[in-house]
Amino acid sequence: MTDPVIVVTRKWPESVEAELCKRYPSVRLNADDVPLDQDDLRDALQHADVVLPTVSDRLPAELFQPPIRTRFLGNFGVGYHHIDVDAAAAAGVVVTNTPGVLTDATADIAMTLLLMATRRAGEGERELRAGAWTGWRPTHLLGTEVTGRTLGILGMGRIGAAVARRARHGFGMPVVFHDNKDGVAVDGVPDATQLDSIDEVLAAADVVSVHVPGRAANRHLIDATRLKRMKPTAFLINTARGDVVDQRALADALWDGTIAGAGLDVYENEPDVPAELRALDNVVLLPHMGSATVGTRTAMGMRVLDNLAAYLDGREPPNRVA
């Protein structure tokens, strides 16, 4: 394909946009970073050869109904639950993602949430900024120490393993985990214990960190029943996908003391965050910023460009998912 017409749905780091425009003459950027609605996305699929979307774009099956011109969708991000990849494949569209380059940044945010939730850092910051801090006192904002506490990981992929390493070696946390694959070895954490079920992990852990992909089968994997399996002193951390956790059930569990606290970076209907969660002090709420470092977002963009270059050269894109 010569001179493909390329649509980028959101603003990217400048250096990556510059590289994209240097390589290809017909690129439409989104300088104002206004999210595309369903009509805009349909229009892009009907008029561009290449569309480069991201997690904030919803691409359901109906958008892939003919006529469409797009042959390549290079997702800026590792998660692709927002794209109906079966419908894309059926329409002859190649889809790629950006695994690997955001592992450390996302694991760092999981640890940030773990520490903020257990040590009540969000509460402390809110209090101080509100001018309500009255000074040091022995019983002020007492939290939970994490050293030596058990970390439970659901989904031991790249990011789960990176969190396990940080917790084990940085904080001396024993690690238990569940993964659908049998006999998973955790790189750098040889003593991590694989348990047979999610429920066993929930019962054993002082902090549970979720790292399963956001596919339909994982929707509300953590529901009211599963939250009740956790210790009342335990914390839930979610940096994976919002709909893996039933937000309403979580808000209830945080409110009635079923669990002690939570830290979330992802939500079911972003950017909406339920008022029930925002009203609670024992949950830390971040705005989906797991991969938000200059280096990581640049690497993600360059990974999209690598996949696109391979596709346009007639090679197999390294991160093809459909």
Residue 28 a catalytic site member: no
Of positions 44, 52, 55, 210, contacts ligand DGY by CB under 6 A: 55
Given 166, 229, 241, 297, the catalytic residue: 241
Stretch that binds ligand DGY, among 76-84, 140-148, 171-179, 190-198 (CB under 6 A): 76-84
Q: Has 200 been annotated as catalytic?
A: no
301 binds ligand DGY (CB under 6 A): no
Choose the binding region for ligand DGY from 57-65, 75-83, 86-94, 166-174 (rule: CB under 6 A): 75-83
Among 4, 53, 74, 79, binds ligand DGY (CB under 6 A): 79
Check if the beta carbon of residue 232 is closer than 8 Å to that of residue 259.
yes
Residue 290 near ligand DGY by CB under 6 A? yes
End-to-end CA distance of the chain: 19
Q: Is 241 a catalytic residue?
A: yes
Closer residue to ligand DGY in complex, CB, 4/157: 157
What number of chain residues touch ligand DGY (CB under 6 A)?
7
Site for ligand DGY in 89-108 (CB under 6 A): 102
Q: Which is nearer to ligand DGY, 161 or 227 (CB)?
A: 161
Contacting residues for 285 by C-beta, under 8 A, at least 6 apart: 122, 264, 273, 277, 278
For strands 94-96 and 235-238, give the pairing.
Answer: unpaired
Asked if 223 and 248 count as a contact pair (C-beta separation under 8 A), the reply is: no
Joined tokens for residue 140: 């002020």
Residue 84 CA to residue 306 CA, distance in Å, equals 22
- Which residue, 55 or 277, is less far from ligand DGY as judged by CB? 55
Q: Contact with ligand DGY (CB under 6 A): which of 103, 291, 307, 319?
A: 291
The amino acid occupying position 61 is: A
Query: Would you say 5 or 59 has its CB closer to ligand DGY?
Result: 59
As beta bridge partners, residue 177 has 153, 194
Binding flag, residue 253, ligand DGY (CB under 6 A): no
CA distances to 109, 110, 154, 272 from 166, rounded to whole Å, are: 11, 10, 16, 30
Distances (CA, A) of 135 to 128, 141, 142: 10, 11, 14
Active site residues: 241, 270, 288
Provide the binding-site residues for ligand DGY, judged by CB under 6 A.
55, 77-79, 102, 290-291
